[in-house]
Structure 1
Amino acid sequence: MPQIANNAAARSSAKLFLCGDVMLGRGIDQILANPGDPHLSERYVKSATTYVELAERIDGPIPRKVDDAYVWGDALSELEREAPDARIINLETSITTSLSLAPKGINYKMNPANIGCLAAARVGCCVLANNHVLDWDEPGLVETLGTLRHAGLVYAGAGLDADEAAAPAVIELAGGGRVLVFGFALETSGVPASWAAGAYKPGVNLLADVSARSLAQIARSVQAIKQPGDLAVASIHWGGNWGYEVPAEERALAHALIDVAGFDVVHGHSSHHPKPIEIHNGRLILYGCGDFLTDYEGITGYETFRGEFALMYLPRLAIPDGTLVSLDLVPFQLAKFRLNRARPEDAAWLAAMLERECSPFGTHVAPLGSDNRLTVVW
């Protein structure tokens, strides 16, 4: 990837857009302009169109053949208003026409012809180290990588071999400096060990262990590329889908990624709802960002977690030291496979939940103003 000379003095901070799982496959793919083959081999569901029908039972008719911007809804105007310097998502789907189904029960794919959906949000980096990018086996991953490259979208956390999977995505900042995004996956998120990339094998950047030796290797990788004025993000897929608890081993790993490996942000995902936020030595840890775009709208169960709510995370980081300056959260509600601004009562529920879960970590969440935004203080 092309590099630029650093000019860190030209800017004193950078704002990022981070979010959790962006799952544009399966049901969402079926309402886009170029729906792919809907066939599924799930235990109870055999067609992706069923997920559209289930959602329609909850919120009414969903339009078909929508334009590329539809699913992003109100999030697009918020992104335009905030103008983040880098936009980073966990892209949790393969982008492929492959019929090579991985035998795992739940398989996501988006038709490559719908790649414009990512361009509509001007995504800067797609993190691929997760438990759905190989849902259609290695042919599906290879096509996913090729589709992203052809569209000019950078990615991290997966590759044609282990070196590419471990390499960071490099986002150049206007005025100098860069955001370096490293993607990691843990088996605790449901990523099979067999998905690990190898010397001549496509796959994901799977952390087989979190030993001191492994952390030292990660630190060397960061130090080899990070320059003054750069910001380093560890985007990591870990843990289960439901529950607010942060396991002690995840917290220890997050701290080590900052203290030992030199990361400025730990961007955690896998949970279907937001989890606690911590500021460790001045640096941001998001233990679970929750879903951002999914086709779960009509699926019942776990209602107490309010999985229909999505958060846009907008941290501002100081340059050159990478410490957190501010963190605003913008809440949305997913309805009709579209992100809509959250109502005041929904934003209040999110604020109360986050305050409850974050306060043991020394962070607090409160409404920021009249537009239902939230702010994090520490």
Structure 2
Amino acid sequence: MSGGTVTLFVCGDVMLGRGVDQILARPGDPVLREGYVTDARSYVSMAESVNGPIPAPVDPSWPWGEALRLLEASDPDVRIVNLETSVTRSAAFEPGKAVHYRMHPANLPALTVARPDVCVLANNHVRDFGPAGLRETLDVLHGAGLRTAGAGRGAEEAYAPVALPLPHGGRMLVFALGTAGSGIPASWAATADSPGVAHVPELSPATAAAAVRRIRRVKRAGDLVVVSVHWGSNWGYPVPRDQRLFAHALVDGGADLVHGHSSHHPRGVEVHRDRLILHGCGDFIDDYEGIPGYERFRDDLRIAYFVTLAADTGALVDLRMEPLLARRMRLEPAPERDRGWLHTTLDRIGYGTHVALAPDGALTLRRTAALG
């Protein structure tokens, strides 16, 4: 921290399982139970068919690519990722799910290389291999010294925030929630004596009030609060009214940043009471190259978000969005034309905000509407 500010790195879904797991040094069992794909190596072949050979096995840093350089250059105070995969050797596929994600625990260096301070687990893939798979995921992550939010061996652990000390003396509290609307089954909700996620059955005033009560029970003077939420559909730009109202209620109740994810492409940015709301950060790392059907959303374009907050108030000071391109399951700098496409798109779909394209190719926030 410097100059009375705190800078965070946040991103969308980090999906190191399935095809990505297969190109790493210790790939797990490639067997899948999907309708059309039964071998995870098929996703590697699809990526290679459109962008060329992948030199497997790759170094743990490979999937992150250019993102690691950006992290080193920016040196954020806090790094938060949504880890959307089980980390397990289990073969106990969760019944009733069309897609299952797992990475072999021996490939954990592909996560730790980015040095995340918090791994958000409140999502619809963390329990793809049942309660035992979730327990193993927690054991592996915690054994490596990684802190998790949004899932646990019971409800108390799942709903508890991660508390990170900040240089100015306060803390960064990171809460995580996963909604039914993002595909998280109700049966995955953590209970007093069973592992699961911090589950939100619906986006309503009542569930928002429950989240606010949890914030207020823990937040102290000098603390900053991030609420990371897995919500909404995979595709499309409109944000439902209940999602926006839920986000507003979190801010009104003490959240300084709402970090939204689940959509496969970035969604609009909003500022409410000088607090940033990211309605959808889009995927960050995945194995979706070569899968047709939604090309108009350019889900191959990814964004690394660097959010700077005032240390004393939590108000938004700056937002810097670095465009990246996923190619051969690796993040590369986005070409100038693609940065322009993202600029135009995000500027069009913002909620009371506009986006500017900086001379160095980054995207920044330019607020012009009345904010309240």
Instruction: Show structure 1 runs of 5+ residues with no match.
Output: 1-7
Counterpart of 2:279 (choices 270, 282, 287) is: 287
Identity among equivalent pairs (%): 51
Q: Is the 8 A contact 2:204 2:242 kept in 1?
A: no
Match among 244, 250, 253 for residue 257 of structure 1? 250
Q: Secondary structure at the match of 2:246?
A: helix
Aligned partner (choices 11, 19, 43) of residue 19 of structure 1: 11
Q: 1:158 aligns with which of 141, 151, 164?
A: 151
Q: Measured at CA, do residues 271 and 95 of structure 1 come closer, stay the same or move farther in structure 2, by a change above 3 Å?
A: same
Q: Corresponding residue for 1:186?
A: 179
- 2-structure distance, mates of 1:288, 1:44: 28
Match of 1:5 in 2: none
1:375 to 360, 364, 370: 364
Amino acid at match of 2:363: L
Q: Where in structure 2 are there 5+ consecutive unaligned residues? A: 368-372
Match of 2:207 among 214, 221, 237: 214
Distance in 2 separating the partners of 1:362 and 1:207: 27
8 A Cα contact 1:21 1:290, kept in partner: yes
Deviation for aligned residue 1:170: 1.7
Corresponding letter in the other structure for 1:65: P
Q: Matched residue pairs, number?
A: 366
Question: Alignment partner of 1:296: what SS?
Answer: coil
Compare 226-235 and 20-29 and name the one that shifted more: 226-235
Displacement of 1:297 after TM fit?
A: 0.7
User: Within 5 A, what are the aligned runs for 1:59-208?
Assistant: 59-103=51-95, 104-208=97-201
| Residue from 263, 283, 303 that aligns with 1:271 | 263
Mean Cα deviation higher: 169-178 or 310-319 = 169-178
CA contact (8 A) 1:11 1:176 kept: no
SS of alignment partner, residue 63 of structure 2: helix
CA distance in 2, matches of 1:253, 1:196: 19
1:231-267: per-residue Cα shift (whole Å, max 9, x none)?
A: 10110011100000000100110100111x2111111
Q: 1:11 to 1:227 in 2, by over 3 A?
A: farther
Does the 8 Å contact 1:228/1:320 carry over to 2? no
Give the alignment of 1:290-329 within 5 angstroms: 290-329=282-321
Indicate conservation of the 8 Å contact 2:179/2:230, yes or no: yes
Query: 2: CA distance between counterparts of 1:241 and 1:214?
Result: 22
The letter of the residue matching 2:347 is E
The 8 Å contact of residues 11 and 175 in structure 1, kept in 2 or not, is answered as: no
Determine if contact 2:226/2:255 at 8 Å carries over to the other structure. Answer: yes
Counterpart of 1:363 (choices 340, 353, 357) is 353
3-state secondary structure, aligned to 1:194: helix
Code of the aligned partner of 2:327 = A
Task: State the Cα distance separating 1:207 from its structure 2 match.
Answer: 1.1
- The Cα of 1:368 is off from its aligned counterpart by 1.2
Query: SS state of the match for residue 350, structure 1?
Result: helix
User: What is the match of residue 23 of structure 2?
Assistant: 31
Taking only aligned residues, the RMSD between alpha carbons, in angstroms, comes to 1.3
C-alpha deviation, 1:210, in angstroms: 4.0
> What SS does the aligned partner of 2:90 have?
coil
Which residue is 2:370 aligned to? none
Q: Is this contact kept in 2: 1:38–1:49, CA < 8 A? A: yes
Measured after TM superposition, the shift of residue 118 of structure 1 is 1.2
Alpha-carbon separation, structure 2, partners of 1:154 and 1:93? 15
Which stretch shifts more, 11-20 or 196-205? 11-20
TM-score by length of structure 1 reads 0.95
Does the 8 A contact of 2:93 with 2:128 survive in 1? yes
Give the C-alpha shift of residue 211 in structure 1.
4.3
Residues 192-220 of structure 1 show CA distances to partners (whole Å, capped at 9, x for unaligned) of 11110011010000012444443333222
- TM normalised by structure 2 equals 0.96
| CA offset digits 1:113-154 (Å, max 9, x no partner) | 011111100111110000000111111100000000000000
State which of 212, 216, 230 in structure 1 corresponds to 2:223. 230
Pairwise CA distance, 1:308: 0.2
Does structure 1 conserve the Cα–Cα contact (< 8 Å) formed by 2:203 and 2:243? no
Deviations for 1:260-310, whole angstroms, at most 9, x for unmatched residues?
Answer: x21111111000000000000000000000000000012111000000000
Letter aligned with residue 55 of structure 1: A
Alpha-carbon contact 2:180-2:202 (below 8 Å) kept: no
SS at match of 1:113: helix
Give how far 1:175 is off: 4.3
Distance in 1 between the 2:328 and 2:80 partners? Answer: 24
